[in-house]
């Protein structure tokens, strides 16, 4: 017996309160941007500057003890992770200790590194600092600019792709949905002051891809139905297309969330920020594909000139493209 999360004759009307959904999305986006400009982001070491220390001992690494030892000397913004490598000896245990620039300082001073080594030596007497690498504020500023450029270029590439794949109305709806997803993700990190580092940029780019995939699935069905049902109005076509793809949407989002929630609960502090961004992104990405992208497309309309052949016809010149 086949598992069904959505019945075959689903007939929900997603546009009955479309103005309400768009209004909620607009308010949430404004609140997110206001939070970003008022209190900003809690930047991690990648964007604020700091030092990465590679340690080595002959005894197993206890991340909790390492963290407690560094907390006792008053170090803030510390991230500790154990390094695993099959080439390590049986008595070789390696950890990465990342210390952010302390308040009032542009970089981690030599004195701070010496105090950190002394504190860790109480936990692991034979500990050695194999390498110490620092990132200054200038490099961190360049990373922020590069990260913003990467996200902007990704959204720009999506705009061009959807425009060529479908029409400009589809492209604008998809891009507005992506901007909505990115803005809300940045906003939740700003509001909750969760640490924002390069891993979160990777999550943002992944969210862009995930949300785009969801949107393209719906839009592809819309395009097929526009050709199949030439007498139906656009609202009915959109409602039909979303209902037809709803089973796939729910199944994909649900299975992705199950894996992400497991990672969030069991993955540890190192990836928790990344996983939280992904969970939030899957939720808002699924929402925006249904209630933002499609609602924007409904308001923009689609040119449907059926007096011309499908191939090369206005509004359907890419209708036979198989991607």
Residue 69 confidence (pLDDT): 84
Pairing mode, strands 50-57 and 128-135: antiparallel
- Main-chain phi, psi angles of 194, to 5 degrees: -75, 145
Residue 310 confidence (pLDDT): 45
Q: Which of 123, 60, 57, 129 is nearest to 99 (CA)?
A: 129
DSSP letter string, 265-300: HHS-HHHHHHHHHHHHHHHHHHHHIIIIIHHHHHHH
Domains of the chain plus CATH, in order, are 18-42+140-300 (1.20.1640.10), 50-135 (3.30.70.2040)
Q: Please write the tens of the pLDDT for every residue from 188-239.
A: 999 888 888 888 888 888 888 888 888 888 888 888 888 888 778 888 888 8
Weakly modelled stretches of the chain, pLDDT under 50? 1, 306-323
Task: Provide CB contacts within 8 A for 235, sequence distance 6+.
Answer: 15, 298
pTM: 0.73
Residue 277 confidence (pLDDT): 92
**Residue 101: burial class (beta carbons within 10 Å; 0-12, 13-18, 19+):** buried
Q: How far apart are the first and last CA of the chain?
A: 32
Residue 8 confidence (pLDDT): 63
Q: In terms of DSSP H, where are the helices of 134-233?
A: 137-165, 168-192, 198-228
Residue 16 confidence (pLDDT): 78
Residue 106 confidence (pLDDT): 58
Residue 315 confidence (pLDDT): 41
């Amino acid at each position: 017996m086949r598992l069904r999360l959505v019945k075959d004759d689903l007939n929900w009307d997603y546009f009955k309160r479309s103005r309400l959904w768009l209004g909620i999305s607009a308010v949430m986006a404004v609140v997110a941007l206001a939070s970003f400009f008022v209190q900003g982001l809690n930047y991690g070491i990648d964007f604020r500057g700091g030092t990465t220390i590679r340690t080595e001992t002959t005894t197993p690494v206890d991340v909790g003890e390492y963290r407690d030892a560094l907390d006792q000397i008053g170090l803030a913004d510390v991230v500790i992770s154990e390094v695993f490598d099959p080439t390590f000896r049986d008595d070789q245990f390696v950890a990465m200790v990342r210390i952010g620039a302390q308040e009032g300082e542009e970089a981690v001073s030599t004195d701070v590194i010496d105090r950190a080594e002394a504190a860790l030596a109480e936990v692991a007497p034979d500990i050695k600092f194999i390498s110490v690498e620092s990132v200054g504020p200038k490099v961190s500023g360049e990373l922020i600019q590069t990260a913003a450029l990467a996200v902007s270029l990704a959204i720009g590439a999506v705009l061009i792709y959807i425009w060529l794949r479908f029409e400009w109305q589809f492209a604008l709806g998809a891009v507005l949905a992506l901007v909505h997803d990115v803005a809300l993700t940045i906003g939740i990190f700003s509001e909750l002051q969760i640490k924002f580092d390069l891993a979160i940029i990777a999550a943002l780019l992944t969210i862009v891809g995930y949300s785009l995939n969801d949107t393209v699935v719906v839009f592809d069905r819309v395009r097929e139905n526009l050709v199949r049902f030439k007498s139906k109005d656009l609202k009915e076509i959109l409602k039909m297309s979303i209902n037809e793809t709803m089973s796939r949407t729910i199944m994909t989002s649900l299975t992705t969330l199950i894996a992400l929630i497991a990672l969030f609960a069991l993955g540890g502090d190192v990836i928790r920020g990344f996983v939280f961004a992904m969970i939030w992104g899957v939720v808002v990405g699924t929402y925006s594909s249904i209630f933002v992208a499609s609602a924007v497309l409904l308001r923009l309309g689609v040119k449907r000139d059926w007096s011309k052949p499908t191939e090369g016809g206005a509004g359907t010149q890419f209708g036979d493209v198989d991607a």
